[in-house]
Structure 1
Amino acid sequence: MSHTPLSDADYQRLAATLNRFLPQQGMNLERLDGFFAALLCGPEQIKPTECLPAIIGDAFDDDAAFTSDKALEQFVRLLGGHWLDIAATLREDSGFQPWLDADAAGEIRGNDWAEGFAEGMQLLNEDWGLLFDDPEQAPLLEPILTLAFERNPDPEVQVPALTPEQREQCLAALSDAVHGIYRFFAAIRQQLEQEEEALERQQRH
């Protein structure tokens, strides 16, 4: 199945639509990128459309969120396109680059991306326990969770504010971490896919 990557204009449209829903607890593009990366790396594939309530927040229940069915369809198409862009990069093992936007001060902090990734992990919390419990592979999560917990309001899990050097190290480690996590769960994903196919075959006969 060939997929045409989204264009720069597509990404501008996607970002603009997401930004409209920020006041309603929606995700920006950086956070969405982390969220999708976690879902695609994890053991069980969840479709992006199943996550619309998490992506656009309270706008999901707002009939006026989209001006028309066509506008909603276009948004879902762009979401799907971004999902397929990440999936292709991970499948081809071709240098995943997290989508990181500069803040108002022009600094790339990475917190939104990491918080999105952590949110994606929470959807299948028990399955991710396999990675946490693996002493060799668990360190892959360190740069992600460090950035994810830096702004956490709970003082028990909050990470002290990072120095610029520490932040740089975490950001530089994200790409390898994502690829490593994707490979870690690959066998489980394959097994689930085979079980699903077997079930479908049974239902057909």
Structure 2
Amino acid sequence: MAADWLVSPDDKELEELDQFLRAHSGDEDLLLDGVHGFLTALAIGPAPAKPEEWLPEILHEPFADTGEGERVLTLLARLNDAIAPELETGTYEPILGELDVEEGPPAFTARGWCEGFSRGIDLRAPVWEGRLGHDSELMELLGPIIALAIDDGVFESDAAFPPLGDEDYDECLSQIPGAVAAVAEYWRDHPLSADERNAPAPEGGAMPPRRRSGRWVH
């Protein structure tokens, strides 16, 4: 039974979760790709997050039906709990959005996934920003994700970056699993120091999630 719990939702179940999120989301709320990026950042980051911390970032209104609520919570838990095993087995793949194009199959976009990833970082902003400020290795490991986020307008940058061409964009997409695995390994090999664990939260409580066009802090 425990092994079944760690199995990520299949395509049909993901579609079910996607439809629920689309039916209960506002303009600034995360959809399925964003939820996966959000949970990924928390799963690979410096300190784990409990469901009562991350669920309010995804669900914003009471369930109208108890059975539907239990189903959605189960799917979200399975989506979250499968990330670490997928990274360990090399089977992790980001859930990406699709863009309709005039000819050919839909094109994939990382915009939603990167937006969710940035909000996951925001939940641990003091630690991430402190470490990024003095360890260039972490910034380099995040390179493909940062490039996609800047190209899709999720992050602003003080430096001028030319738009990614289609081939470069697709190459960065293909590098997301490796970047995610490398960042997870980084935090395992470089755990928080006592000072970092005891770092005070920003005044006014935890830093609120940044919306699209937030600034990548480094």
Instruction: Label 1:52 to 1:184 Cα distance change in 2 as closer, same or farther (>3 A).
Output: same
Describe how 1:1-205 pairs up with structure 2 within 5 A: 1-4=2-5, 5=7, 6-23=9-26, 25-56=28-59, 60=60, 62-63=61-62, 66-90=63-87, 92-105=88-101, 106-128=106-128, 129-131=130-132, 133-150=134-151, 151-152=153-154, 156=158, 160-187=162-189
Which amino acid in structure 2 is aligned with residue 147 of structure 1? L
Q: Counterparts of 1:130 and 1:155 in 2: how far apart (Å)?
A: 18
Percent identity for Structure 1 against Structure 2: 27
Counterpart-to-counterpart distance in 2, 1:108 and 1:49: 31
Cα pair distance change 1:95/1:86, threshold 3 Å: same
Q: Residues 139 and 55 (structure 1 numbering): CA distance in 2 closer, same or farther, change over 3 Å?
A: same
Kindly tell me: are residues 153 and 139 of structure 1, through their superposed partners in 2, closer, same or farther at Cα, counting changes over 3 Å?
closer
4+ long deviations beyond 6 Å = none
Q: Is the 8 A contact 1:110 1:147 kept in 2?
A: yes
Q: Which amino acid aligns with 2:167?
A: E
Secondary structure at 2:137 match in 1: coil
CA contact (8 A) 1:102 1:109 kept: yes
**1:152–1:40 Cα change, 3 Å:** closer
Q: Which runs of 5+ in 2 are unaligned?
A: 198-218
Alpha-carbon distance, 1:48 to partner = 3.5
What is the distance in 2 between the residues matched to 1:157 and 1:74?
Answer: 45
**Does the 8 Å contact 2:115/2:154 carry over to 1?**
no
Closer, same or farther: CA 8–165 of 1 in aligned 2, 3 Å: closer
Distance 1:71 1:40, change over 3 A: same
The change in CA–CA distance for 1:70 and 1:27 in structure 2 (over 3 A counts) is: same
**Cα offsets for 1:133-169 (capped at 9, x unmatched):** 3233421111112222331485757855321122122
Q: What is the letter of the counterpart of residue 41 of structure 1?
A: I
The TM-score normalised by the length of structure 2 is 0.74
Residue 97 of structure 2: SS of its match in structure 1? coil
CA distance in 1, matches of 2:98, 2:155: 22
Answer yes or no: is the 8 Å Cα contact 1:34–1:114 preserved in 2. yes
More helix by share: 1
For structure 1, the 5+ residue unaligned runs are 196-205
Query: What is the root-mean-square deviation of aligned Cα atoms in Å?
Result: 2.7
What do the CA deviations read for 1:158-204 (whole angstroms, capped 9, x no partner)? Answer: 85532112212211211110000000111466999xx9xxxxxxxxx
- Maintained 8 Å contact 2:41/2:121: yes
| One-letter amino acid of the structure 2 residue matched with residue 136 of structure 1 | E
